Structure 1
Amino acid sequence: MTTMYVCPADGTRAPVESLAWCCPVCRGPWDLDFEASPVPLKSLSSRVNSLWRYEEALPLSAPVTTLGEGRTPLVPLTSSVSAKLDFLMPTLSFKDRGAVMLAELARRLGPERVIADSSGNAGTAIAAYCARAGLPCTVYVPESASPKKTEQIRAHGARLERVPGDREATARAARAAAGEPGTFYASHVHNPYFLHGTKTYVYELWEDLGGRLPETIVVPVGNGTLLLGAALAIAELSAHGLIDGRPALIAVQAEAVSPLATAFRAGAEELRAPAESAPTLAEGIAIPNPPRARQILRAVRASGGTFRTVTEDQLRAAQLDLASRGLFVESTAVACWAAVRDEGDGTSGADETDRAGLSVVVPLCGAGAKTGLAPAAGAGGQSAQ
């Protein structure tokens, strides 16, 4: 069967080769009409040590652009909480999982140019993998983007476009350029190939835990690419009879910018209004109006999960706490640990996660070397992601 884009809102379809970056009817993001095959757990030990070992579940195979991404360690933080060290990727963030898929797809389609927009990590990943694929790349970033991340983007040979204003303004500028002929928009939000890359996060958990999943998977949510990838993998593993039960998805947002948490608590199926932009240490998830909001809310509810929000003080404390354990990650990447660390070995006494024998996994998504240590309260400024 031919793999095609399909709009989850109205069913519109388009060939992948068309370079159409969104549904022409509703302008919403695409899903992918692709059916994964079962991954044989017992044969994995002899395969390539990267995310491409799950070839039956991926819409692309035999990649040229790979940098060995994936297969990151899973280490315990407490007796019931483990962390997956996704900051140990080639470009030091989990975004490599999806970026390699987009760059490989672009390489096969042969566009004149590739563009992307990002608060930093997705842009560095797209720039790196486009360099690997030999593709010209332009990355749009907010003017407040971390200097260390913009330096990395330039080092990979990408053209950098700084956009005045916030993350939403950056996305609008990139979308305007995406309509130019011969342009492949490597959108980690709109292009579903990115989600089929991030779903390997859960396939790795499944393999590392011997064919099972933890009871609870906690993920940071801005545009929701890791959460939706996780939901996709869980659905595939369940459909193939490879797991006995489905874990709850706990979505974490910064209290300062938490439109999805607000909608979830109100029982809404979509955002009633975008959130106000506000400074936060977790800038990588400070998305006022995520295009896949409806899908994110539906996925969390279907899993029996919930949303949590964390304060700036919690983010600072969590970053220092992880550093004291030997793990220096950026301030957005500590959001999940901030959400569970003070609750008796990571368990909760207040909501759906209050269950005996709880096992929880949190991702550490980006390296602290990308942004440095979050400033102390009252020190002035915010750490950019």
Structure 2
Amino acid sequence: MPPDTPPLTGLPDRLCPRDGTRVPLADPAWCCPACAGPLDLDFHPRPAPPAGPAASLWRYADILPPAAPGISLGEGGSPLVPLTERVSAKLDFLMPTLSFKDRGAVLLVGLARRLGVREVLADSSGNAGTSVAAYCARAGLRCTVYVPESTSSKKTEQIAAHGARVVRVPGDREATARAARTAADEPGVFYASHVFHPYFTQGTKTYTHELWEQLGGRLPEALVVPVGNGTLLLGAHLAIEELYGAGLIPRRPALHAVQAEAVSPLARAWREGLDDLYEEDIPAAPSLAEGIAIPRPPRARQILAAVRATGGAFHTVPESAIGPAQADLARRGLYVEATGVACWAAVREGAVGDAEAVVPLCGAGLKTGTAAPAPAPRAEAPGT
């Protein structure tokens, strides 16, 4: 076990939302052993007035699950700035690795360090892998990140700069996930999945807790969130339920989920009134919004249920809207990657009408450049 690692006491269990199977946090299983689905955390804090530095995720330590201390890079506390009279943007691209994924990665890697693991594995379209790699570097853990072969070279350079091994997988994001999950079954590997592991969502919920505090103890009528695997939306929903359950908000804001039209399995299921995705695979077209180009999100049922529970909706944006939305934000002084502008593109097209809304700007434009297809890097076979 690494030095200064707290003892393994007081750790909550993971819990399967579909069949109730319990899995201890120290168990290396990364999914439910009964149904192979993702796990939630049996952790139900009651929000209290936050304490600590204002510009810090750790201001909310009392409602976060236990993790190893000492690996923070200064994450949290992103600014909220107006875009119009009714729409504001939360600048989560101003995180240590330039994306909101730092909120979840600091907790997930903190857990890995607390569990005493030495080898961490992640899969990602870029941002989550970069974040996990950075926090592994901070924690002194070896890290391997699987990415699709089409991932922006700027993102893979950032991952490698943190000392992680990058494995480029031929095929789409789903092929990458399959390759990583196979490798994750090897002994001694901690699968730092931002999709399957509930610690990541516990971190992303701080986005909404911060927003509640920044707005003077309230939330807007609508939270507009980009959705691929749904980690930010599910974190937002978790925070909403915590705040509503504690009587700190009088109503739940509507969650509006945004997908790229080219890869929109959840929006299709929503339109047809389904509780889950179609059984058959639907071929996904290439999208500039690579971070949300997820053809089969494992938490689809939870994402659809969260949007319904808040009276929200799903929206899709065409590829032709992404470039103009990115350029519009840049002219306002905000240079954001293509995935991160999807919500602003949807709002520009009337997704929430005149409702008071907040959009997250999730990743910096420097990660991908302007909205044009990135050249595909040379593929490296998994395991090399």
- Provide the C-alpha distance between the structure 2 equivalents of 1:252 and 1:97, rounded to a whole number of angstroms: 20
Contact in 1 for aligned 2:152/2:374 (Cα 8 Å): no
Partner of 1:107: 113
Q: Say whether 1:143 aligns with 2:149.
A: yes
Contact conserved, 1:86 with 1:364, CA < 8 A, in 2?
A: yes
* Structure-1-length-normalised TM-score: 0.92
1:89 Cα offset (Å)? 0.3
Equivalent in 291, 297, 301 of residue 294 of structure 1: 301
Deviations 1:280-313 (A, max 9, x none): 1111101000000000000000000000000011
Select which of 14, 17, 21 maps to 1:12. Answer: 21
Q: Which amino acid aligns with 1:187?
A: S
**Among 178, 182, 188, the residue aligned to 2:188:** 182
Q: Which amino acid aligns with 1:289?
A: R
Which amino acid is the alignment partner of residue 60 of structure 2? Answer: Y
2-side partners of 1:275 and 1:362: how far apart? Answer: 28
Q: Which amino acid is 2:267 matched to?
A: A
Q: Is 1:255 paired with 2:261?
A: yes
CA RMSD of the aligned region, Å?
1.4
Where 1:205 maps in the other structure, the secondary structure is helix
- In the TM superposition, structure 1's runs of 4+ consecutive aligned residues that sit over 4 Å from their partners are none
- The answer as to whether partners of 1:371 and 1:383 remain within 8 angstroms in 2 is no
- Give yes or no for the alignment of 1:63 onto 2:63: no
Conserved 8 A contact 2:68-2:111: no
Query: Is 2:124 the counterpart of 1:118?
Result: yes
Deviation at 1:129, TM superposition (A): 0.2
Q: What's the CA shift for 1:382?
A: 5.0
| Equivalent residue letter for 2:321 | Q
Checking the alignment, whether the CA contact within 8 Å between 2:11 and 2:25 is kept in structure 1 is no
Q: Does 1:361 align with 2:367?
A: no
Pick one of 56, 61, 78 that aligns with 1:72: 78
TM superposition shift of 1:331: 0.4
* Deviation at residue 62 of structure 1 after TM alignment: 6.5
Is the 8 Å Cα contact of residues 257 and 278 (structure 1) preserved in structure 2?
A: yes
The 5 A counterparts of 1:184-333 are 184-272=190-278, 273-333=280-340
Residue 351 (structure 1) aligns with: none
What's the offset of the Cα at 1:205? 0.3
- Report what 2:3 is aligned to: none
SS at 1:103 equivalent: helix
The CA distance in 1 between the partners of 2:365 and 2:307, in whole Å, is: 28
Question: What residue is the counterpart of 1:337 in the other structure?
Answer: 344
User: Aligned partners of 1:274, 1:99: CA distance in 2, in Å?
Assistant: 29
Report the CA distance between 1:48 and its aligned residue: 5.8
Q: Provide Cα deviations, 1:27-73, integer angstroms capped at 9, x if missing partner.
A: 100000011122215xx4x5363111111210125721110101000
- Kindly indicate whether the alpha-carbon contact (under 8 Å) linking 2:99 and 2:127 is maintained by their aligned counterparts in 1: yes
8 A Cα contact 2:368 2:374, kept in partner: no
1 CA distance for matches of 2:112 and 2:349?
Answer: 44
User: d(CA) in 1 for partners of 2:223 and 2:342?
Assistant: 13
Q: Which moved more, 1:286-295 or 1:56-65?
A: 56-65
The alpha carbon displacement at 1:261 in A equals 0.2
CA distance in 2, matches of 1:266, 1:172: 28
Percent identity of the aligned residues? 69
How many residue pairs get matched?
366
Contact preservation (8 Å) 1:117, 1:171: yes
Please report the TM-score for the alignment, with normalisation by the length of structure 2.
0.93
Q: Secondary structure at the match of 1:105?
A: helix
- SS state at 1:314 partner: helix
Q: Retained in 2: the 8 A contact 1:310–1:339?
A: yes
Cα deviation per residue 1:196-224 (whole Å; 9 max; x = unaligned)? 00000000000101110011000000000
Tell me which residue corresponds to 2:381.
Answer: none
Cα distance in 2 for residues equivalent to 1:123 and 1:361: 26
Letter in 1 for 2:364: A
> How big is the shift at 1:144?
1.0
Read off the aligned partner of 1:305 and give its amino acid letter.
Answer: G
Q: Hey, what's the Cα distance between the residues in 2 that align with 1:101 and 1:94?
A: 13
**Match for residue 6 of structure 2?**
none
Q: Which residue is 1:378 aligned to? A: none
State the distance in 2 between where 1:124 and 1:230 align: 22
3-state SS of 1:217 partner: strand
- SS of the aligned residue for 2:107 comes to helix
